[in-house]
Amino acid sequence: ANEASELESFVTYRNQRDFSHHPLHKLFLNIFSCLIKNRLVCEWLRQASPDNILGVLICLRLLIRDPHHQYMESVSSDYLEGGYQIFAVDKLVNMTIFQKLSAVEHQRAWVIKCRAHETLVKLLASRDTSALLGALLALTSLADLEYKEKIGELPVVGSLLVILQEYDLLSKVSAELLRLLCPAPRIWEQVRAYEGVPVLLSLLQSDHLRLLGSAVWVLVQLCEDPGIAAEIRAWGGVQQLLHILRKREYISDRSSVETLSSANAAGRIQRQHVSEEFSPKETLENVMSLQACCAALTELILDDTTAHHVENGVYIIGKLVLPQSSQPGPKATSLQCCAFRTLRFLFSVERNRRLFKLFSAELFEMFIDVGHYVRDITSYEALQAKVSLLSEEELKSLREGIEAVNLHRSPLKVINGYAVLDHLGSGAFGSVYKVRRQNGQNLLALKEVNLHNPAFGKDKRERDVSVEKVVSELSVMKEQISHPNIVKYYKTFLEDRLYIVMELIDGVPLAEHLNSLKEKQQRFTEDRIWNIFIQMCLALRYLHIEKKIVHRDLSPNNIMLGESDRVTIDFGLAKQKEAGCELTSVVGTMLYSSPEIVKSEPYGEKADVWALGCILYQMAELRPAFYSSNTLALATQIVEAVYEPVQDGVFSTRVTDIIKCLTPDADLRPDIVEISGRISDLMMKFIDNLCTSQQALEKKLERDRKRALKYFLEASRLPPTLQHDFKRWVVERFKKTLFDSRSSPYNLKLELKKFQTIIEEVLEENEYC
pLDDT of residue 90: 43
d(CA 351, CA 512): 7
pLDDT over 50 (residue 215): yes
In this predicted structure, what is the pLDDT of residue 626? 93
Distance, in Å, from the CA atom of 124 to the CA atom of 155, rounded to the nearest integer, reads 10
- Looking at residue 670, what is its pLDDT? 92
Which stretches does DSSP call E strand in 369-450? 413-415, 418-427, 430-437, 443-449
Looking at the chain, the whole-number percentage of residues with pLDDT higher than 70 is 75
- Are 585 and 554 in contact by the 8 Å Cβ rule? The answer is no
Q: Give 24's DSSP letter.
A: T
Taking every pair of C-alpha atoms in the chain, what is the biggest distance, in angstroms? 117
Give the model confidence (pLDDT) of 413-469 as tens digits. Answer: 888 889 888 877 776 667 888 898 887 778 899 988 877 777 677 777 877 787 787
53-67, 589-603, 616-630: range with lowest mean pLDDT: 53-67
Over residues 328-362, the pLDDT tens digits come to 556 678 889 999 999 988 887 766 676 677 788 88
Of 462, 491, 474, residue with least CA distance to 573: 474
**216 with 208: CB under 8 angstroms?**
no
pLDDT at 255 over 70: no
Query: HSE on the CB side for 316, CA within 13 Å?
Result: 23
Q: What is the mean pLDDT of residues 166-171?
A: 84
Span 112-135, pLDDT tens digits: 776 777 778 887 887 777 778 888
496 counts as catalytic: no
End-to-end CA distance of the chain: 68
Flag whether pLDDT at 27 surpasses 70.
yes
pLDDT tens readout for residues 148-161: 888 888 899 999 99
CA distance 479 to 576: 13
The reply to whether the predicted model has a pTM over 0.85 is no
Superfamily of domain 414-503: Phosphorylase Kinase; domain 1 (3.30.200.20)
Separation CA 199–CA 250 (nearest Å) = 20
pLDDT tens sequence across 664-677:
999 999 999 999 99
What are the start-end ranges of the H helices in 255-279?
265-268
The pLDDT of residue 728? 59
Q: For the beta carbon of residue 295, count every other beta carbon within 10 angstroms.
A: 22
Model pLDDT, residue 472: 76
- What are 292-309's pLDDT values in tens digits? 899 999 988 888 777 776
For residues 508 and 182, give the distance between their C-alpha atoms in angstroms, rounded to a whole number.
32
| Amino acid at the residue 676 | S
Q: From the candidates 253, 304, 553, 570, which is the catalytic residue?
A: 553
pLDDT at 560 over 60: yes
At a CB cut-off of 8 Å and minimum separation 6, what does 144 contact? 180
Using alpha carbons, select from 140, 134, 40, 141 the residue that is nearest to residue 93: 134
437 - beta bridge partners? 418
pLDDT at residue 268 above 50?
no
Residue 95 has pLDDT above 50, yes or no: no
Residue 752 has pLDDT above 70, yes or no: no
Q: Which sequence spans correspond to the domains of the chain?
A: 1-86, 330-404, 414-503, 508-678, 684-766
**Residue 720 has what pLDDT?**
55
d(CA 395, CA 392): 5
Distance, CA of 290 to CA of 285 (rounded, Å):
9
Query: Could you give the C-alpha distances from 180 to 22, 54, 116, 184, 221, in angstroms and in order?
Result: 39, 35, 18, 9, 10
Give the mean model confidence (pLDDT) for residues 45-49. Answer: 74
Question: Which residue intervals of 223-325 are DSSP H helices?
Answer: 226-234, 237-247, 265-268, 280-301, 304-309, 313-318
Q: Are 560 and 739 in contact (CB under 8 A)?
A: no
**Confidence check: pLDDT of 211 > 70:** yes
pLDDT, average across residues 176-192: 89
Query: What is the reported pLDDT for 634?
Result: 92
Where residue 737 falls among pLDDT bands split at 50, 70, 90? low
Question: Counting Cβ atoms within 10 Å, is residue 200 exposed (0-12), middle (13-18) or buried (19+)?
Answer: buried
Average pLDDT of the chain, as a whole number: 78
pLDDT level of residue 741 (50, 70, 90 thresholds): very low
Does 84 score more than 80 pLDDT?
no
Instruction: Rounding to the nearest 10 degrees, give the CA dihedral for residues 83, 88, 90, 96.
Output: -50
pLDDT value at position 273? 44
Closest CA to 571 of 585, 586, 588: 588
- The DSSP secondary-structure symbol of 251 reads B
Contact between 517 and 523 under an 8 Å Cβ cutoff? The reply is yes
Q: What is the C-alpha separation between 102 and 96, in angstroms, rounded? A: 10
Contacts of 547 (CB under 8 A, 6+ apart): 477, 480, 481, 576
What element of type H or E holds 550?
A: strand 549-550
Neighbouring-strand partners of residue 420: 413, 435
Give the chain's radius of gyration (CA, Å): 33
Cβ(507)–Cβ(308) below 8 Å? yes
Inform me whether the pLDDT recorded for 379 exceeds 50: yes
What is the rounded distance in angstroms from the CA atom of residue 53 to the CA atom of residue 90?
12
Q: Give the mean pLDDT of 478-488.
A: 85
Helix or strand or coil: residue 445? strand
Residue 714 is predicted with a pLDDT of: 58
Residue 630 half-sphere exposure toward CB, CA atoms < 13 A: 4
Query: In the sheet that 559-561 helps form, which strands lie side by side, from edge to edge?
Result: 508-509, 559-561, 567-569
> What confidence score (pLDDT) does residue 768 get?
42
CA dist., res. 18 & res. 66, Å (int)? 5
Query: Each residue of 347-366: b (16+ CB within 10 Å) or e?
Result: bbbbbbeebbebbeeebeeb
Give residue 45's pLDDT: 67
What pLDDT, in 10s, does the model give residues 498-541?
888 988 887 788 998 898 888 888 899 999 999 999 999 999 99
Range among 196-210, 278-292, 348-362 rated most confident: 196-210
Task: Please list, in sequence order, all residues whose beta carbon lies within 8 angstroms of the beta carbon of residue 17, skipping any fewer than 6 positions away.
Answer: 65, 66, 67
Q: Please, which pLDDT band fits residue 91 given cuts at 50, 70 and 90?
A: very low
| CATH 1.25.40.10 corresponds to the domain 508-678 | no
Separation between Cα atoms, residue 509 and residue 270, nearest integer Å? 53
User: What pLDDT, on the 0 to 100 scale, is given for residue 734?
Assistant: 55
Rounded distance between C-alpha atoms, residue 616 and residue 679, angstroms:
13
d(CA 65, CA 45): 23
Quote the CA–CA distance of 151 and 737 in Å, as a whole number. 33
pLDDT digits (tens, 9 = 90+) for 685-707: 998 888 888 888 888 778 777 76
**Residues of the chain above pLDDT 90, percent:** 19
List the Cα angle 581/587/591 in 5-degree steps: 120
447 labeled binding residue = yes
Bridge partners (DSSP) of residue 569 are: 486, 559
How sure is the predictor about 87, in pLDDT bands with cuts at 50, 70 and 90? very low
Q: How far is CA 158 from CA 123, 152, 163, 197, 618, in A?
A: 13, 12, 9, 12, 44
520 Cα distance to chain centroid: 20
d(CA 512, CA 509): 6
pLDDT of res. 712: 59
What is the mean predicted confidence (pLDDT) over 350-377? Answer: 82
Buried b (16+ CB within 10 A) or exposed e, 465-475: ebbeebeebbe
Q: What pLDDT, on the 0 to 100 scale, is given for residue 633?
A: 92
**Residue 409, strand partner residues:** none
> In the prediction, which pLDDT does 260 show?
45
Cβ within 8 Å of residue 112, ≥6 positions away: 142, 147, 150
